[in-house]
Amino acid sequence: MTTTTLAKQPAAADKGNTVPYAARIDHVSKSFGRTGAQQHVLEDITLDVAPGEFVCLLGASGCGKSTLLNLVAGLDAPSAGAIATPGGRPALMFQEHALFPWLTAGRNIELALRMRGVPRAERRAEAERLLELVRLKGAHGKRVHELSGGMRQRVAMARALAQDSQLLLMDEPFAALDAITRDVLHDELTRIWRETNLSVLFVTHNVREAVRLAERVVLLSSRPGRIAREWQVDIPQPRRIEDAAVADLSVEITEQLRGEIRRHGQH
């Protein structure tokens, strides 16, 4: 396979301009290992994320969802194909909050602002604005150990937003949280997405979470990961995870997912 570099352009060149997509994944494949003993993880993935669109990547464990997200983030290069993010480098939020425990909530966000080049005199006010956006007003001086799991993920979200990217990549960010906290953060993420007009590419293996959040759900098969099917989610927002329409579409997608798992012999 031919290794292709990521086609990324500086954010400043495109800021405020209309672009046809926030991310373009063009015939991307990814393999690991040496020639003759390669593990093919992704094969011929083609997917566009439109500006302001919320897309969920769904699939069984090991299907390559996180690998694809890492490729879009620029943390690795595809073995074939190309990835373009015209708005600049995406922001990335992981399953673990990855906050620095020796810094306060506000200082964690200010570090991201510093790396972005925001002047020191402006960082405190911007960090407080972002904390207020994620409903943590007054938490600037809180240490990480003083925050609940849900609060830590809110800080992590604020830190991701501090990167001022038009594309937010999220790798199962709520998987470790209890159901009630996760549901609250679904509401918060939906609100922030609608207020900021961000494009979101969200990885999950939770079907109901995908239907609860996304405008479009993309199902990956396994071994190697390919796009098996897509669904346009036309259920009006705000949605509840227990809504009948969410449940009905979740059943349909779950059946398709089970079929993919059976087809590839996964357990």
* pLDDT for residue 203 is more than 80: yes
Give the predicted TM-score (pTM) of the model: 0.87
Rounded to an integer, the average pLDDT of 198-226 is 94
* pLDDT for residue 200 is more than 70: yes
- Asked if residues 136 and 158 have their Cβ atoms less than 8 Å apart, the reply is yes
Strand-strand pairing, 39-49 and 91-93: unpaired
d(CA 32, CA 39): 5
Token pair 């579409």 is found at 249
CATH superfamily assigned to domain 18-90+167-267: P-loop containing nucleotide triphosphate hydrolases (3.40.50.300)
Start-to-end CA span in the chain (Å): 30
What confidence tier does 27 reach under pLDDT thresholds 50, 70, 90? Answer: very high
Domain range annotation of the chain: 18-90+167-267, 98-164
Rounded to an integer, the average pLDDT of 196-205 is 94
* pLDDT for residue 245 is more than 60: yes
* pLDDT for residue 193 is more than 80: yes
**pLDDT, mean over the chain:** 88
* pLDDT for residue 132 is more than 90: yes
d(CA 26, CA 156): 30
The torsion angles phi and psi of 28, rounded to 5 degrees, stand at: -90, 130
CA angle 101, 106, 111 (to 5 degrees): 75
Kindly report, residue by residue over 102-123, the tens digit of the pLDDT.
999 999 999 999 988 999 999 9
Rounded to an integer, the average pLDDT of 75-95 is 91
The residue that leads in pLDDT, 2 or 87, is 87
